[in-house]
Each structure stands twice: as C-alpha cells, then as structure tokens.
Chain A
Amino acid sequence: MKTKSKSHGAMPVLVGMAFVIPALILFSVFILYPLTTALSYSFFGWKGTLRGDFIGLENYVTIFTKPPFDEALPNAFSHNLLLFAGAMVFQNSIGLLLAVALHKIGRLKRLFQTMFTLPYLVSPLVVGYLWSLMLSPLFGPVNATLRAIGLEELAHPWLGDPTTAIWAIVFITAWQWIGFPMLLYGAALGGIPEEVSEAAEIDGAGGVKKFRLITLPLLLPALGTVTILTFIGAMEAFPIPYAVGGSTGSPAGATDVMALLFYRTAFESGDVGSIGTSSALAMLLFLFIFGVAVVLRTSLARAERKIYG
C-alpha cells in the first residue's frame, strides 16, 4: 500500500494545498476567526466598540445576575427547553406514527412523503408569518374554521395570549419539521430486515409486542439522530419566534428565546457594554448546544453498543 502510494497515488503537498486553499481561506475568515474572536470578546469590558480591559468572567456574571438579564435569561432559556420538549413529544411521535403508517403502503408512499416534507422547504420566517395570519383572532382562517364547524368556544387569540403563544410556536415548528423525523424513521424502518420481522411473527409476537421488541430497538439510531437534531433546532430557534412575537418576544416576553435575547442585546439594547454581554450570551449558548450534543452522541453510542453487543 505504502509503496503504491509513493509511486503514483500520492499527490504532492503543494498541489493539494493549491486545491484546498480557497476553501481554507473562506473557512478561516468567516468561521474560524469569528468563533475564536467572539470567545475573546466575552472576556473583555467594552465601551461601545472600544475594547477595554480583560475582565475575566465578569460578563458571564452580569448575564446571570444583573437586570434585564437576571429575568430575561431564565425566561428565554426555559422557552428553548420547552420548544425541545414539545418537539420531542408532538413532532417526533407524530413523525414516527406517519412513518409507521407509510411503511409498506405501496405506490402512494412517495406522494405522501412529498406532501409531508413540503413545509420544510418554505422559509421558517415565511412559515412564522403565514401562521401568524392563520391564527389571527378575528379574520384568521383557523378561528373562522372553528366557528364554522360549531366549535366557537375553542376560537382563541392564540398568539395574543401569553399562555398559548409559546405552544403555538411548538405547533408551527412541528408543522414545518414533521417530514424530517418521518423520513429518518421511514429510512430506519425500511432498513429492518424482513427475516427479523418474519422470525418474530413465527415466534408468535403480535403487532404491539413485535413493535416494542423488534422495531423500536432497531429504530434507536434514528431516534438518537432525531433527538440531537431536534435539540439543536430548539436551541437555535429564531425566525419563527421572530415572525410570531417580534424581536421582543411579545406578548410580554412569552415567546422570547435565547437567539432573540442575543439579537436584542447585541443590536438593539444601546448598552455600552453590549458587545461583552452579548458575546457572553452567544458563547454560553454555544457551549450548551455543543456540550449537550456531545453528551447525547456518546450516550447514544453506548446504548447502541449495549443492544447490539
């Protein structure tokens, strides 16, 4: 192998570099440099755009203890967690249900898959605005439909009521993303060997039992991928909350999320120290997303090893 690669397989390092360099420059300037710089921003005091002294973790202390952050941060963060939990419970279970229903359905499968994934293509901002019109209290088609079918008492100002607004966002997000878990679970179901499924039936396993003992464990890798992607998506939520509640998360902060809080702090607060505090917010969220994703990944790998030996 080594002699072969020496004779003609090996590309001279300079040729390789010439090919890689355009991508490397773009990646360094617009991804690597900003990431490392954002981290360093968070350790300095700021007066407008003038960098002051190194202040260690003071910006981090500020975002946990000083107003408006002491209230806004837990509020926004709890909404991100709620978006994650809501997506896991509704979006992913309905996605699984649809995948199971589509499994072995025959020639209509493709058509259904296409219809269910279509909303995923639409810009999340458009989705947010579209649903804010759909859910509008007076003329919105949703309430109009409820009235038309005699469910008048269910008609509700969904987005104006602080208790329902965040759930409306869970619902809107699920509507857009359902195709994603559906396709991933569908691919996993398609990958379950026919023999395994038949062997279980011969051994007398009925529908529910078969699903629990055979299908569910084999779905585990897909479930893990869906969980990680759902988590990342929920933590990064921005366009849909922005469209529904604006940059302040109205009504009364009920739809505020971390990315909105970051945006307001960085670009709308007018506070002299905002570069430091908003960078600290960004890094905190960055570490949280990255940390949890790594933990989820490793525990998933461990669970898979346990099952497959």
Chain B
Amino acid sequence: MKRYSILNAPKHMLLWIYAIASLSPLVIMVLNSFRTTQQMATDPLGLPDSLNLGSYQKAWITASFETYFLNSMFVTITSVFIGTAVSLLAAYVFARSKRRVFAVLEGLFLSGLLLPVFLAILPIFYLFDALGLISNLWGLIMVYSALSIPFSSFILAAFFRQLPIDLEEAARIDGAGYFRTFFFILLPLVRPAIATVVVFRFVPIWNDFFYPLMLMRDRDAYTLPVGLTRFFGEYQTDWATLFAGLTITTIPLVILFIVASKQLVSGLTAGMSK
C-alpha cells in the first residue's frame, strides 16, 4: 500500500495540470465575455472588472442570437421527442417479437450507427427543395428524428430485453391490449433508459452544424451553430461579442451537464464496450 502513496504525488500533479488545460479555455471564454474588446487588446490575460453584460445584450439582440437560440431549442426538443417516441415503439417490438422481419429491421436500423450517413445530404437537399422544406425547421426536425433512430432504438431495445416478460403476460391475461400494456406497464419501467437516450441525443442535435448549414438557407431559420458562422464573419473584430455568442451557445449544455452528469459520464461508454 505504501507504494501507492509515493506514486500519488506525480500522478496528482499530472491530473491537475491536465485539468487546467482542459478547463482554462472554457473559463477564458466566459471571463472574456464580460470584458470589452479594448480591455482584451491591451491586457489579453486580464480578468473582468465588473459583471458587464453589454456583450450579451449585443449578441442576443443586435446579432440575432435570440432567433438562433429559440430555433435551436425548438428543433432540438422536438427532434429528441419524436426520435425517442418512434424509437421506443420500435424497440419494444424488437425486444419482444421473435419474427425474422423485425430482426432484419433491427439490423437495418443498427447499420445506421456505423455508416457515415451525413454523406447522403444531397438527395435530402433536393427532396426538401422539391417539397419546399428548405429553411423550414420541420424539415430539420424530421432529419434529426430519423438520425436518432439507430442509437435510440439500440439502447432502448437492450433495456426492454432486460425487463422480465411476466408483467406484460399478466397484463395481457387480464385483458389489456398490446398498446395499453406498452403505455401503462412498460413505459414507466423504461424511464431510466429514456433519460439516457434523451440526454444523449440532445447534445449532438444541439451541436450539429452540418445539416442546418446546408438545409437552412434563410437567416430566420438558422440554428445557433449556423448563426455562429455568419456572426463570426460580421463581428470579426468585436471579440467581446464573439465570446458572449460562444457562451450563449454553450450554456444549455452546461445546464444539461449539471442536471444529468451521471448519465453523461457513465453513458459515454455505454454501447461501445462489447
């Protein structure tokens, strides 16, 4: 045991040094959002002298972050909801039916986890163009809901499989139909898995830049990441506002992290190990 304590000092030092490297850029981002661009130019490493919210006001109102933020919220929440709902229904069948057709469909959905499906953007673009869905937030929502299916149905089916079948059989014998059994018996039982899926789909959808860059051409339909690209072009020299914009984009994830850090850290490796 003694050996461990001797080894611990350099270990701790390494870990704390990396912790600083890991966190300091994020801390600088937040601190600088409270400073003025002029302060940053004269003293790049200084601290804010007051809780100056001017840059936030400028980013939120003048630079349209209000629009981008609300679009991102609407798209992310709706997509996670639809994606989780349809995956729950499918996962239940994958876990409970032994028919080959569902095994094939489960395999098909699963393949979406491994394939770089984002490369198939062009046909989606022309499909949306034909349907008038370019710059329509519902178009983006449909794409994200579909992209959620491989991961969500995989995690949820694994969870359904762990549930004992007795409860459902009892409910069925009591005369409850499949839909009733699903909604009233099973859904309450899979809540932990639903939480995992919701948290894990929220982050990539909130952060995604690829799809809205191509599909949302109208400024009113920008989500935060696309809004950021426009913003970085226009406010290039206005560092204070840039830092405020970056912070605004990140805040919802920090809140999510505080609320669900357990699911996030433990779930990060879920489904990856064999």
A126 near B232 with CB under 8 A, answer no
Indicate whether A133 sits within 8 Å of B242 (C-beta atoms), given known contacts A13-B99, A183-B268.
yes
- Counting chain B CB atoms within 10 Å of each CB, the highest count among A10, A19, A29, A275 belongs to A19
B146 near A30 with CB under 8 A, answer yes
Residue A184, interface by CB 8 Å: yes
A-chain residues with CB within 8 Å of residue B97 when the two chains form the complex: 10-11, 13, 16
B102 near A20 with CB under 8 A, answer yes
B-chain residues with CB within 8 Å of residue A178 when the two chains form the complex: 22
B251 nearest CB across to chain A (Å): 11
A123 near B206 with CB under 8 A, answer yes
Q: Which of A121, A123, A188, A275 contacts B225 (CB 8 A)?
A: A123
Residue A34, interface by CB 8 Å: yes
A19 near B145 with CB under 8 A, answer no
Question: Given the complex of chains A and B, what is the CA–CA distance between A183 and B272 in angstroms?
Answer: 11
B-chain residues with CB within 8 Å of residue A222 when the two chains form the complex: 273
Q: Which stretch in A67-75, A210-218, A281-289 binds the other chain?
A: A281-289
B135 nearest CB across to chain A (Å): 14
- Counting chain A CB atoms within 10 Å of each CB, the highest count among B41, B108, B146 belongs to B146
Count of interface residues, chain A, beta-carbon cutoff 8 Å: 97
B-chain residues with CB within 8 Å of residue A257 when the two chains form the complex: none
Residue A248, interface by CB 8 Å: no
Residue A299, interface by CB 8 Å: no
B207 near A124 with CB under 8 A, answer yes
Indicate whether A121 sits within 8 Å of B93 (C-beta atoms), given known contacts A23-B153, A139-B40.
no
The A91-149 residues at the B interface (CB cut-off 8 A) are 94, 97-98, 101-102, 104-105, 108, 110, 112-126, 129-131, 133-134, 138-141, 143-145, 148
A62 nearest CB across to chain B (Å): 16
A26 near B142 with CB under 8 A, answer yes
Residue A160, interface by CB 8 Å: no
Residue B229, interface by CB 8 Å: yes
A114 nearest CB across to chain B (Å): 6
A23 near B87 with CB under 8 A, answer yes
B-chain residues with CB within 8 Å of residue A225 when the two chains form the complex: 272-274
A202 nearest CB across to chain B (Å): 15
A122 near B26 with CB under 8 A, answer yes
A6 nearest CB across to chain B (Å): 10
Query: Interface 1/0s, chain B 243-274, versus A by CB < 8 A?
Result: 10010011001101100010011001100111
A-chain residues with CB within 8 Å of residue B224 when the two chains form the complex: 123
Q: Which stretch in B49-57, B58-66, B118-126, B187-195 binds the other chain?
A: B118-126
Residue A5, interface by CB 8 Å: yes
Residue A22, interface by CB 8 Å: yes
Residue A44, interface by CB 8 Å: no
Residue A306, interface by CB 8 Å: no
Question: Given the complex of chains A and B, what is the CA–CA distance between A108 and B19 in angstroms?
Answer: 12
Query: Interface 1/0s, chain A 165-178, versus B by CB < 8 A?
Result: 00000000001001
B93 near A16 with CB under 8 A, answer yes
B-chain residues with CB within 8 Å of residue A232 when the two chains form the complex: 116
Indicate whether A19 sits within 8 Å of B116 (C-beta atoms), given known contacts A125-B228, A133-B243.
no
Residue B2, interface by CB 8 Å: no
Count of interface residues, chain B, beta-carbon cutoff 8 Å: 94
Q: Which of A33, A124, A180 contacts B123 (CB 8 A)?
A: A33
A141 near B45 with CB under 8 A, answer yes
Question: Given the complex of chains A and B, what is the CA–CA distance between A27 and B232 in angstroms?
Answer: 35
B120 near A175 with CB under 8 A, answer no
A-chain residues with CB within 8 Å of residue B14 when the two chains form the complex: 97-98, 101
B120 near A293 with CB under 8 A, answer no
A144 near B22 with CB under 8 A, answer no
Indicate whether A119 sits within 8 Å of B22 (C-beta atoms), given known contacts A23-B109, A129-B232.
yes
Residue B175, interface by CB 8 Å: no
B98 near A31 with CB under 8 A, answer no
Residue A81, interface by CB 8 Å: no
Residue B75, interface by CB 8 Å: no
Question: Given the complex of chains A and B, what is the CA–CA distance between A139 and B62 in angstroms?
Answer: 25
Task: List B residues at the A interface (Cβ < 8 Å).
Answer: 4, 8, 11-12, 14-15, 18-19, 21-23, 25-26, 28-29, 40-41, 44-45, 85-87, 89-90, 92-94, 96-99, 101-102, 105, 108-109, 112, 114-124, 126-127, 129, 142-143, 145-147, 149, 153, 165, 169, 172-173, 178, 182, 203, 206-207, 209-210, 213-214, 224-225, 228-229, 232, 239, 242-243, 246, 249-250, 253-254, 256-257, 261, 264-265, 268-269, 272-274
Between A and B, 28 residue pairs with Cβ closer than 8 Å are A5-B98, A20-B105, A23-B86, A23-B87, A23-B90, A26-B149, A27-B108, A27-B146, A27-B149, A29-B146, A31-B149, A34-B121, A108-B15, A114-B261, A118-B257, A121-B257, A130-B25, A130-B26, A139-B44, A143-B44, A144-B45, A183-B268, A221-B274, A238-B209, A243-B232, A282-B122, A285-B119, A290-B116
Q: What are the nearest 5 A-B pairs in CB distance?
A: A30-B146, A34-B120, A144-B44, A123-B207, A37-B123
